[in-house]
A = this chain, B = another copy of it.
């Protein structure tokens, strides 16, 4: 039951972060995290990439137009914004992850998985940087990995664990 009639159609469609190098970030979010690229939009001096997990939607079988339409009709989409040139600008300081000053505000995105240990062992093998491994600190059931721009990605079980 939706909270209010006026908001019954509302969905938390996507979260947008800026990335320095789309080649590096797309490889990370598809091959390591496992999302599919649904749409690429060239906007002049910047390009937008929309990704999401395929849970039966079968994006690979869709036409480009169908995928573009599909990205509006679901939750859990990640939008990557690439401002052209950052990837080869050696003076570019990089983007703020949101978790240190100045710029604290945004925290992280989170990926739920069946098995946190197994997922993290694979991330380790793939050379992913960790902010917190499952065995670090008190919270053994969660981990934080870093994406190529240093944004935090929480890795947690898809079942409540105490």
| Interface residue ranges, A against B (CB under 8 Å) | 1-4, 6-18, 30-31, 33-36, 52-56, 58-60, 68-69, 72-79, 81, 95-98, 102-115, 118-119, 122, 149, 151, 154, 156-160
Contact = CB atoms under 8 A, between A and B. Distances in A.
A52 B110 CA distance: 14
Contacts of A3: 30-31, 34-36, 53-54
Contacts of A105: 17-18, 95-98, 103, 106, 149, 151
A74 B156 CA distance: 12
Contacts of A118: 6
8 contacts: A3-B34, A4-B34, A6-B118, A13-B111, A16-B107, A18-B106, A103-B103, A105-B151
Contacts of A110: 12-16, 77, 79
B106 A12 contact: no
A104 B95 contact: yes
Given A10-B33, A69-B160, A98-B105, A15 B15 contact: yes
B15 A109 contact: yes
